[in-house]
Amino acid sequence: MKIQSYVLGVVSTNCYIVSNENTKEAIIIDPADQASVITNLLKEQGLHPVAILLTHGHFDHIMAAEEVAKYYHIPVIAGEAEKELLADPDLNGGYMIRKNITLKADQLIQDKDQITLAGLKIQMIHTPGHTAGGMCYYFDKEKILISGDTLFLESVGRTDLPTGNAKTLIESIKQKLMVLPDDVMVCPGHGDRTTIGYERTHNPYVGDNDFWD
């Protein structure tokens, strides 16, 4: 497995390309914007995408999803509880950049679902709080977690946007992410990578001595 990140769009969103080095199949996670940049990167590396995974439905994570999906004839996969937010610009924030952004996922997933894409097994972890249908994607064998805007380096996602809830977010992280092994690498929707162990010790929101208790 190989994971690459590219910062795209107006709010510097991390788009991840996860690939199987043996088969050259790939998964695109959060195609934030600039569809041509994403397709060119895949072509340059001879990668063949099989699906698009969305951590959540905010505009800055989905703007290139429809175009890339149509180009490669691949499905868009998102959390079941994110269906309404994906479809409504007033909820997904499209209105903030004066764009009518709507998207319909081809496949809706739930907490604890497990799927195999590009020969890689992925566990779905529903982490509501940033949005109602936010999903983290855990590659158990490789110990890699794609956390979207749920968990950041020494921080957590904002909760003041539609369907967000601060208490729910902290509960999601503590109950579902902080139980993972310390050496799991966390790849967030914005900013630098971190590890579960580092966040357990240093994140003031969810660490051992957090101020939310």
Find out whether 131 and 161 touch, Cβ atoms under 8 Å: yes
Rg (CA), the chain: 16
Structure tokens of 64?
């290139």
pLDDT tens column, 166-213: 999 999 999 999 999 999 999 999 999 999 999 999 999 986 655 444
The DSSP result for 53-120, as a single string, is E-S---HHHHTTHHHHHHHHT--EEEEGGGHHHHH-HHHHSGGGGT-------SEEE-TT-EEEETTE
- Average confidence score pLDDT of the chain: 95
pLDDT at 96: 86
Q: Scanning the structure block, which residue is given the tokens 């149509």?
A: 70
Domains of the chain: 2-202 (3.60.15.10)
The model carries a pTM of 0.95
Beta carbons within 10 angstroms of residue 44's beta carbon: 8
pLDDT tens column, 67-126: 999 999 999 999 999 999 999 999 999 888 888 999 999 999 999 999 999 999 999 999
